[in-house]
Structure 1
Amino acid sequence: MSEATGQANGRRRGPNYVLISKRESLGWSRRRAARELQRIGEARGLGTPELDALEKALYRHETGATVCRDPLYIELYCAAYKATAHELFGGVAPAAQVGERYGVRSHKFIAAYIGADRVAELAARELVTPGASHHGLGCMAREVEHDEGLCRLHVWPFGVAIFHLAEELAFPNVAHLAIWRRRTYVENLAWASRYIGNLVRAEAEASYVLSLYWVHSPIWPAHEIDTALRIMCFPKTLLARDPETSESSLAHAELVERSLLADGFEYPEMTSFGVKGISLGYASWSGVVYSPIALQRSLAEQELVSTELATQAIWAYCAHINEQVEQGRDPTVPAEYSWRFLRGVRSRLTNPRPQETDQHRFMRAAILDTSGLPGHLAQAIDILRETE
């Protein structure tokens, strides 16, 4: 295993106080920390050095005698101290190796409007039970079996159903994710339509899928990671409009990706909500991507998930109202979920909360604005007011 010495421009690097404080906060001596690193390495099937060598390396990394660039040590430290590489070592990180894959958790939100009566029926049959509240919108939920990941169905009393499917993925580049996304969206919509139709014992159709990507293990060098996440936020920019065979589509997507990584990628309807040194985050009409840099100071994954659940629930409800108008009908909705209800929802979603952090406010505003929900809500409120 290679290590870089701690000399830079003829000067010795200073101690790594983050590593030291992480260890000391756990009450560990260096020997105790070395044992923990060895235990983690053995549990993960890694070829870890002997205990004395681990303790010596830990001393050199903490004092700054050696710069920690070895992927093995970085993985062990991150696991032991429950922190990211950037949090522990700043900009010092191993370069991506050929064949390496980045780790990302995909959160898909698959929406369907089933009607308030059918939601009430599901509750009466005890097929759904009270679930969590998302931005003040209480819902009911049930666990759903899915071959590809963890899935939960959320239903709101105003008639919207949202499947939340979380899948753990690893890809060598964004092009593979773009191809996977296009293929699975079709499969997910068909599956969700069948499932909800069987559940409510009537014909039902899932209308769209929206994705949130939590990038927990990036592999790109510092000068490429921002562009890579921008592409991931709008992955269909890599794909031709008319899909060819999967092999040629992938080859084309990889070629486009390499070009964009070299030249940069800008998309006018993409909003950044990351905080320098803490996180990278982008939202667009196509979806959301977030990568924590300082895990203890960044947004929590569930905060993004909860915001998307609330956003997509109201988006699907407004879409149902607007669809009735476009079909030449006056929309009919339960009285308790008419324009006054939507006016209250708009206030809860768009106005800052007293104890809300800046990071959460930036994230919420970016997701709402790029989804087009504020305009969607305003139109639905006006329509319901006119037809009340």
Structure 2
Amino acid sequence: MARLHYAWTHPEKAYIARKPGSSRHDKFPEDMQELRKRIPELKVESPHQTRGRGGYPKREASVEEERAKGELQTQIDDWISMCKATYGLSLSAPRRGTADPPTSESVPLGPAHVVSHKFVPIYLGADVEPLLAGAEPLQDGPGGLEHRVLRAGHPDAAPDSRLYVYACGVAIFHLVQPRSVECLGELAAWRYRSYDTDLDWATKHLQRRLAQEGSATEAAAPYVLSAYLLEDSPWEGAHLETALQVVATPSVLVDRNHPGGAERLGDDVERGLFIDGYRNQDAVDFGIQAVSMGVAGWSGVAYHPLSPERALAMDEIVELELDVQTLWALSAYVRGEVEAGRDPVMRDEEHGLRWLRGAYSRLTVARDQETTPHQRMRKAVLATSDLPDRLRHMQEALRESIT
């Protein structure tokens, strides 16, 4: 009971102890049934008794004592349920040597339902002006970047997909695509295959739109970043953590060098990741105990709310990624100019060094009323995108171009 109470009151240490291979893994009760059998043995005795077991006489428990006993058992049941939901198999794993380890057949691969959010940024510079003129104004995002919105018009995306146009000279497509898959390998293969078509579509679609406005551009979409909301799945506990890690870093499930395009690897590879508890050392966990589970990596974000009323709304992740990817595209332009031996030229004087310094501060410094889930998510996304370093280098480049 003391160990279970410790797991409840020290969640960060219980989380570490749960991980496979930890020297402290066995410090917590592992057999839920035996743990429950011990609950009726707990007794609450009056401090006024003077004889009997331990110096106390035996007598019938009072109404107050029965109530206290019931409250204690309820509290312990709550501990068990919460720890089991939060730490997965850590409290119910079989004792070593008493049961066989998980087999490949015992690990489900799906099905799962996810909502894919793709971000496709394109740097336009001064060519962005015709799009800005016809777009609808929006409230500034987390980075304080002025932007407007148009319909995306993607043939395979939900109606709420949009084309965001930023005054700093960047256009970014946000494509929303719900997907039901039989396994995560299927999702990973679709992700890589659709990236090629989405990049080509975004480039041609934007060039066509600008041509209709009497302008022209040779700008092309360089990359796609994804954020996934995992809505339904068969996984719990440690397997759910593994699923989010895999969704955020899908390259472990596909052969990207296949002649016909990205090809899903076999069931044995996918089940092996679940059995081994795959973790990407470069990914950053931004989950909150009993509230949400989230992973941010270089190529994407995966999120799953445990308590929807307390978890982040997916719109909050989308709003941050829109500003992050916009600044990333802008920094890529500046880096390209510097490496080509030219001074970078911003779209106008309003988006120079001081503007960039303000955006950097708004993204990297916590707000007064920022929630813990949002702060953890923001730090994880910024850390894995390498954006703060890129913005610092960008400021140095602009400062040198002025002097």
Q: TM-score range by the shorter chain?
A: 0.7 to 0.9
Paired AA for residue 133 in structure 1? D
Corresponding residue for residue 372 of structure 2: 358
Deviates further, 235-244 or 185-194: 235-244
Corresponding residue for residue 293 of structure 2: 280
Asked if residue 239 in structure 1 is aligned to residue 244 in structure 2, the reply is no
**CA distance in structure 2 between the partners assigned to 1:120 and 1:208 by the alignment:** 22
When residues 175 and 264 of structure 1 are mapped into structure 2, their CA distance, relative to the original with a 3 A threshold, is same
The two structures have a TM-score, normalised by structure 1, of 0.73
Q: CA deviation at 1:156?
A: 0.5
Q: CA deviation at 1:119?
A: 2.1
**CA distance in structure 2 between the partners assigned to 1:269 and 1:223 by the alignment:** 18
**CA distance in structure 1 between the partners assigned to 2:266 and 2:299 by the alignment:** 17
Corresponding residue for residue 80 of structure 1: none
Deviates further, 376-385 or 196-205: 196-205
- The question of whether the paired residues in 2 share the 8 Å contact of 1:103 and 1:215 is answered with yes
More strand by share: 1
**CA distance in structure 1 between the partners assigned to 2:232 and 2:290 by the alignment:** 16
Paired AA for residue 134 in structure 1? G
When residues 284 and 215 of structure 1 are mapped into structure 2, their CA distance, relative to the original with a 3 A threshold, is same
- The question of whether the paired residues in 2 share the 8 Å contact of 1:271 and 1:284 is answered with yes
**CA distance in structure 2 between the partners assigned to 1:101 and 1:238 by the alignment:** 16
The two structures have a TM-score, normalised by structure 2, of 0.70
- The question of whether the paired residues in 2 share the 8 Å contact of 1:278 and 1:293 is answered with yes
- The question of whether the paired residues in 2 share the 8 Å contact of 1:281 and 1:290 is answered with yes
What SS does structure 2 have at the residue aligned with 1:133? coil
**CA distance in structure 1 between the partners assigned to 2:108 and 2:369 by the alignment:** 45
Q: CA deviation at 1:292?
A: 0.3
When residues 349 and 198 of structure 1 are mapped into structure 2, their CA distance, relative to the original with a 3 A threshold, is same
> Which of 129, 132, 137 is 1:123 aligned to?
132
Deviations 1:67-109 (A, max 9, x none): xxxxxxxxxxxxxxxxxxx99x9589xxx99785211100000
Q: How does 1:345-384 map to 2 (within 5 A)?
A: 345-384=359-398
Corresponding residue for residue 302 of structure 1: 315
Paired AA for residue 257 in structure 2? D
Corresponding residue for residue 134 of structure 1: 141
Instruction: Please say which structure displays the higher CA radius of gyration.
Output: 2
Corresponding residue for residue 386 of structure 1: 400
Q: CA deviation at 1:246?
A: 6.7
Q: CA deviation at 1:336?
A: 1.4
Unpaired segments of 5 or more residues in structure 1?
Answer: 1-7, 13-63, 65-85
Paired AA for residue 132 in structure 2? A
- The question of whether the paired residues in 2 share the 8 Å contact of 1:194 and 1:204 is answered with no
- The question of whether the paired residues in 1 share the 8 Å contact of 2:152 and 2:174 is answered with no
**CA distance in structure 1 between the partners assigned to 2:222 and 2:330 by the alignment:** 12
Corresponding residue for residue 337 of structure 1: 351
**CA distance in structure 2 between the partners assigned to 1:158 and 1:199 by the alignment:** 19
Q: CA deviation at 1:121?
A: 2.1
Query: Between Structure 1 and Structure 2, how many residues are aligned?
Result: 303
> Which of 271, 274, 277 is 1:261 aligned to?
274
**CA distance in structure 2 between the partners assigned to 1:99 and 1:326 by the alignment:** 45
Deviates further, 156-165 or 235-244: 235-244
Deviations 1:215-259 (A, max 9, x none): 111221333111111011100122234124579x32x25332111
- The question of whether the paired residues in 1 share the 8 Å contact of 2:108 and 2:234 is answered with no
Corresponding residue for residue 207 of structure 1: 222
Deviations 1:122-156 (A, max 9, x none): 233x2x12123211212011112222222200011
- The question of whether the paired residues in 1 share the 8 Å contact of 2:107 and 2:271 is answered with no
**CA distance in structure 2 between the partners assigned to 1:98 and 1:371 by the alignment:** 31
Deviations 1:146-199 (A, max 9, x none): 222222000111110100000111112111111001100000000000111111
When residues 148 and 99 of structure 1 are mapped into structure 2, their CA distance, relative to the original with a 3 A threshold, is same
Q: CA deviation at 1:383?
A: 0.3
Corresponding residue for residue 147 of structure 1: 155
Paired AA for residue 160 in structure 1? V
When residues 261 and 90 of structure 1 are mapped into structure 2, their CA distance, relative to the original with a 3 A threshold, is closer
**CA distance in structure 2 between the partners assigned to 1:99 and 1:255 by the alignment:** 10
- The question of whether the paired residues in 1 share the 8 Å contact of 2:123 and 2:171 is answered with yes
> Which of 179, 189, 193 is 1:179 aligned to?
189
When residues 98 and 349 of structure 1 are mapped into structure 2, their CA distance, relative to the original with a 3 A threshold, is closer
**CA distance in structure 2 between the partners assigned to 1:147 and 1:232 by the alignment:** 24
Q: How does 1:62-73 map to 2 (within 5 A)?
A: none
Q: Following superposition, which runs of at least 4 residues in structure 1 exceed 6 angstroms of deviation? A: 96-99
- The question of whether the paired residues in 2 share the 8 Å contact of 1:130 and 1:139 is answered with yes
Corresponding residue for residue 32 of structure 1: none
Deviations 1:337-379 (A, max 9, x none): 1111111100000000000011110100000110000010000
Paired AA for residue 164 in structure 1? H
Deviations 1:296-323 (A, max 9, x none): 1111111001010010111111111111
Paired AA for residue 157 in structure 2? G
**CA distance in structure 2 between the partners assigned to 1:318 and 1:230 by the alignment:** 28
When residues 98 and 289 of structure 1 are mapped into structure 2, their CA distance, relative to the original with a 3 A threshold, is closer
What SS does structure 1 have at the residue aligned with 2:366? coil
